[in-house]
């Protein structure tokens, strides 16, 4: 213990050399106690100052933070404006519904909750698929809809058991309702929850509010700004755990504006149903104003099921279908117009000074360059003047005079009548087609224009492409000689066309010829309408989608019925009525229609649509008869198709299978059709898989199907430039 001895140097270094006495220690204590007291007081002062800093200097900042803690702003989605037809009938409306959402962030024990929910709400396996898919994709904040349109009983049953399902949120809201279902699918489009990308872009909290839907396609998308109102807000005081203590203030939502369309809801639905099993489109225009009365593309999807969040399976079925139900054919479908352009070409001849009585002789073929071009009539039409050429759709007449007159005249007239024209229409995806002429070909292909190009163009083949709406505009301008433009929105103004400067006597020649196409001995007799004082004028068309080789021609051209669907000709028709005082213009294009089935061919369809405009009851009666054969309305057929698809995929296990069998057994009305549809359907779907559109290069260039399933339910439909 030497280390601790009083003389140790280390000791003195540490402890100093002072000797401690009682007095000195007492003195030290006094001093140090005083120091300690002072230090304590200093800390007290520091604390008081700190408090002053927080509570006085930074008071504003903290008051704000405290308020934002306390007050929670809940947004109530605005009711969406209605879309109504020209008479005020709703095409898209809202209905109150009870809904159940899942907030992914708060969900615990997902499998159990979904199993219980599907039992409680009787969800079918399809819905469960979709919910699981959505949950996998969903960002934590974005609610995933479990079920919509619940009955009050289901809603109540769930509400009382809510504590068992963390993350499940029942709600009352509005859902979009489309009374006409599939027949307005492409026209109106559909709505859906905003995507996560949309939200990332704008950070608008409305976008992630449960129940808020934004327009995804068609008019719903392009009119979204008008239709979306101002959200309501509810300021509530909430606890840290999210429990609402009391309401502070509530501002009701301002519903979006209603939009009135020029569409005639009745005709729109009739046209959609009348297209039957065809893949086609109908556009009807008012010849006085350019109002679009109908813009139908079938087959279609049910926008109601899109708005609810479409199932994976339904999407797959729609995208694999070779009738392309996901494309709006009226605006995004491009077709060679075929013979329907002949009246237009004839008008250009008149404009160029051709006498309508001048004639040529059709022998069934004409040599152009080193190739023989054939007329559709192999025997030939004999002596043909303009009237007869249109009435009989003689190709040789047009081959002959077109070569004399030249493509530039024809192309100019085509453009005047609206082909290739871009119309300012409220639709996101449109294709505008092509009116070819020498300058165009040089620019596009770096090749000289050839006589056979002219020949092809005069019969609406070759480079010429139109969409059905343009074809309808052509019919309307042919009918009136006025510069009519299509309108979808009834804005209260009257859009009268200005004269195109085409002499009336020229038009009269064309109109009379087109009248006789239908009412004389022409090619469109099937379109005749049985309405007093109303004569339909029109022009048929057939557009080849394949080359017919000379060998095949020699051996006899195969009938369309013997060809696979994708190789059949397009069947077209354009016209107007009444012929002497045009009121309505119409176009109808059936993809690969092939003129196989008279009941479902374009002239008959056009005739019935015009009949509907004058005598709806009569037209409906006829349609009802047809639909018995086809197996119901488009809606019913769509549902049936989905069931069959599910069975074909082997996806639906026992329950839906049984249900389908049961329903088959229960409806002997189906006896007319053998049991073939199932395998057929399956094979066709498989055939029409990925390479489906490759065979159709003439159509919208980028119209390839989205090969994979959609990420979230509503994915943009195939887009075209």
Partner 1 sequence: MNKLVPVPDAIARLPWGLYALLTGIACFGGVVLYSAAGGHLMPWAGMQLARFAVFLVMAEVIGRVPHQLIRAGAFPLYGAILIALILVELIGGVAGGSQRWINLGFMQLQPSEFMKVAVVLAVARFYSILPIAQTRTFTAIWPALALIGFPALLVLVQPDLGTALMISMGGVTVMFLAGLPLRLFVGTGLAGVAIVPITFSFLHEYQRNRILIFLDPESDPLGAGYHISQSKIAIGSGGLFGKGFLNGTQSHLDYLPEGHTDFVFATMAEEWGMLGGVGLIAALFILLRWGMRVAQQTEDRFARLVAAGLTTTIFLYVAINLMMVMGLAPVVGIPLPFMSYGGSSMLTVMLCIGIIRNIDRNRETLGDRWR
Q: Which residues would be at the binding site for partner 1 (CB under 8 A)?
A: 3-4, 6, 11, 14-16, 18-22, 25-26, 28-30, 32-34, 36-37, 40-41, 43-44, 47-48, 50-52, 54-56, 58-59, 61-63, 65-67, 69-70, 237-241, 245
Please list, in sequence order, all residues whose beta carbon lies within 8 angstroms of the beta carbon of residue 604, skipping any fewer than 6 positions away: 526, 527, 598
- Two tokens at 286? 């008012």
**At its nearest, how many Å lie between partner 1 and the CB of residue 51?**
5
| Residue whose tokens read 């309401």 | 247
Q: Which is nearer to partner 1, 51 or 557 (CB)?
A: 51
| Residue whose tokens read 């619940």 | 150
Q: What distance in Å separates the CA atoms of residue 703 and residue 335, rounded to the nearest whole number?
A: 13
**At its nearest, how many Å lie between partner 1 and the CB of residue 24?**
8
**At its nearest, how many Å lie between partner 1 and the CB of residue 9?**
14
Please list, in sequence order, all residues whose beta carbon lies within 8 angstroms of the beta carbon of residue 271, skipping any fewer than 6 positions away: 183, 282, 284, 294, 296, 605, 609, 612
Q: Which residue is catalytic, options 183, 339, 348, 703?
A: 339
509, 386 contact by CB (below 8 A):
yes
Task: Give the CA angle between residues 522, 525, 285 to the nearest 5°.
Answer: 100
Q: Which is nearer to partner 1, 18 or 367 (CB)?
A: 18
Dihedral, CA of residue 555, residue 561, residue 562 and residue 564, to nearest 10: 120
**At its nearest, how many Å lie between partner 1 and the CB of residue 195?**
27
**At its nearest, how many Å lie between partner 1 and the CB of residue 4?**
5
Q: Which is nearer to partner 1, 62 or 445 (CB)?
A: 62
| Residue whose tokens read 């007290």 | 44
Q: 131: number of CA atoms within 13 Å, CB side?
A: 24
| Residue whose tokens read 């809801």 | 265
CA distances (Å), 76 to each of 239, 557, 709, in order? Answer: 20, 64, 32
* Helix or strand run (H / E) with residue 330: helix 329-332
Q: What distance in Å separates the CA atoms of residue 233 and residue 78, rounded to the nearest whole number?
A: 10
CA distances (Å), 560 to each of 485, 545, 589, 680, in order? Answer: 35, 11, 16, 19
Q: Which is nearer to partner 1, 22 or 136 (CB)?
A: 22
Q: Which is nearer to partner 1, 2 or 422 (CB)?
A: 2
* Helix or strand run (H / E) with residue 584: strand 584-591
Active site residue 258: no
- Two tokens at 354? 């051709």
Q: Which is nearer to partner 1, 52 or 369 (CB)?
A: 52
User: 234 pairs with which residues across the strands?
Assistant: 74, 250
Q: What's the gap between Cα 456 and its chain centre?
A: 33
Q: What distance in Å separates the CA atoms of residue 715 and residue 713, rounded to the nearest whole number?
A: 6
Q: Which is nearer to partner 1, 242 or 555 (CB)?
A: 242
Q: Which is nearer to partner 1, 8 or 151 (CB)?
A: 8
Give the closest residue to 387 by CA, choosing from 514, 506, 507: 514
Q: Which is nearer to partner 1, 242 or 532 (CB)?
A: 242
**At its nearest, how many Å lie between partner 1 and the CB of residue 30?**
6
Q: What distance in Å separates the CA atoms of residue 557 and residue 602, rounded to the nearest whole number?
A: 22
Q: What distance in Å separates the CA atoms of residue 316 and residue 707, rounded to the nearest whole number?
A: 9
**Phi, psi values for residue 481, rounded to 5°:** 70, 15
In 3-state terms, what secondary structure has residue 2?
helix
User: 637 pairs with which residues across the strands?
Assistant: none
435, 423 contact by CB (below 8 A):
no
Between strands 371-374 and 365-368, the pairing is antiparallel
256, 80 contact by CB (below 8 A):
yes
**At its nearest, how many Å lie between partner 1 and the CB of residue 18?**
7
**CB atoms closer than 10 angstroms to residue 520:** 16
Q: Which is nearer to partner 1, 4 or 152 (CB)?
A: 4
Q: Which is nearer to partner 1, 3 or 617 (CB)?
A: 3
Task: Give the CA angle between residues 165, 167, 173 to the nearest 5°.
Answer: 100
CA distances (Å), 631 to each of 282, 517, 578, 654, 669, in order? Answer: 21, 32, 33, 24, 8
Active site residues: 339
């Amino acid at each position: 213990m030497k280390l601790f001895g009083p003389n140790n140097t280390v000791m003195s270094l540490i402890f100093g050399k002072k000797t401690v006495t009682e007095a000195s220690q007492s003195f030290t204590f006094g001093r140090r106690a005083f120091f300690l007291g002072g230090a304590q007081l200093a800390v007290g002062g520091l604390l008081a100052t700190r408090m002053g800093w927080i509570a006085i200097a930074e008071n504003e900042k903290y008051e704000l933070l405290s308020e934002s803690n306390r007050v929670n702003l809940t947004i109530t989605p605005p009711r969406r404006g209605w879309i109504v037809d020209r008479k005020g009938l709703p095409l898209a409306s809202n209905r109150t519904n009870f809904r159940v959402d899942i907030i992914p962030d708060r969900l615990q024990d997902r499998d159990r909750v979904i199993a219980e929910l599907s039992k409680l709400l009787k969800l079918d396996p399809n819905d469960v698929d979709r919910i699981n898919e959505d949950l996998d994709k969903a960002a934590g904040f974005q609610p995933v809809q479990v079920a919509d349109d619940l009955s009050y009983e289901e809603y109540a049953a769930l509400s009382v058991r809510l504590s068992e399902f963390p993350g499940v949120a029942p709600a009352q809201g509005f859902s979009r309702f489309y009374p006409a279902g599939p027949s307005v699918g492409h026209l109106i489009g559909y709505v859906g929850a905003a995507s996560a990308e949309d939200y990332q872009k704008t950070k608008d909290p409305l976008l992630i509010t449960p129940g808020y839907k934004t327009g995804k396609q068609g008019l719903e998308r392009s009119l979204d700004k008008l239709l979306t109102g101002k959200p309501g807000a509810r300021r509530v005081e909430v606890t840290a755990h999210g429990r609402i203590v009391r309401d502070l203030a509530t501002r009701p939502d301002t519903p979006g504006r209603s939009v009135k369309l020029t569409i005639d809801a009745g005709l729109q639905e009739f046209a959609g149903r009348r297209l039957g099993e065809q893949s086609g489109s109908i556009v009807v225009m008012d010849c006085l104003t350019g109002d679009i009365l109908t813009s139908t593309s079938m087959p279609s999807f049910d926008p109601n099921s899109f708005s609810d969040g479409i199932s994976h399976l339904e999407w797959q079925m729609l995208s694999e279908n070779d009738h392309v139900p996901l494309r709006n054919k009226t605006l995004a479908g491009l077709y060679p117009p075929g013979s329907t352009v002949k009246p237009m070409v004839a008008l250009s001849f008149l404009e160029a000074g051709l006498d309508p009585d001048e004639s040529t002789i059709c022998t069934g073929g004409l040599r152009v360059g080193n190739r023989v071009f054939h007329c559709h009539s192999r025997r030939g039409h004999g002596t043909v003047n303009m009237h007869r050429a249109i009435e009989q759709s003689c190709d040789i007449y047009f081959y002959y005079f077109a070569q004399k007159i030249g493509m530039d005249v024809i192309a100019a007239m085509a453009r005047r009548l609206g082909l290739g024209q871009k119309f300012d229409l409220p639709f996101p995806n449109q294709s505008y087609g092509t009116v070819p002429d020498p300058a165009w070909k040089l620019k596009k292909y770096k090749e000289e224009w050839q006589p056979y190009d002219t020949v092809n163009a005069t019969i609406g083949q070759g480079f010429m492409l139109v969409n059905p709406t343009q074809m309808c505009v052509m019919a309307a301008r042919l009918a009136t000689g006025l510069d009519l433009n299509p309108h979808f929105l009834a804005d209260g103004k009257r859009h009268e066309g200005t004269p195109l400067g085409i002499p009336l006597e020229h038009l009269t020649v064309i109109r009379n010829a087109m009248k006789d196409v239908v009412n004389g001995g022409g090619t469109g007799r099937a379109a005749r309408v049985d309405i007093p004082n109303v004569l339909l004028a029109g022009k048929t068309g057939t557009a080849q989608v394949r080359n017919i080789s000379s060998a095949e021609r020699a051996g006899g051209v195969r009938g369309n019925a013997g060809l696979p669907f994708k190789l059949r000709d397009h069947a077209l028709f354009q016209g107007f009525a009444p012929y002497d005082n045009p009121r309505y213009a119409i176009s109808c294009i059936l993809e690969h229609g092939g003129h196989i089935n008279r009941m479902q061919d374009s002239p008959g369809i056009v005739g019935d649509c015009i009949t509907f405009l004058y005598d709806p009851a009569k037209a409906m009666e006829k349609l009802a008869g047809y639909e018995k054969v086809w197996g119901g309305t488009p809606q019913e057929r769509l549902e049936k198709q989905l069931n069959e698809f599910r069975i074909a995929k082997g996806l639906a296990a026992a329950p839906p299978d049984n249900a389908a069998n049961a329903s088959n057994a229960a409806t002997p009305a189906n006896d007319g059709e053998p049991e073939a549809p199932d395998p057929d359907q399956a094979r066709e779907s498989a055939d029409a898989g990925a390479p489906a559109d490759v065979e159709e290069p003439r159509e919208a260039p980028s119209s390839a199907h989205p090969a994979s399933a959609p990420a979230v339910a509503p994915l943009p439909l195939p887009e075209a430039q």
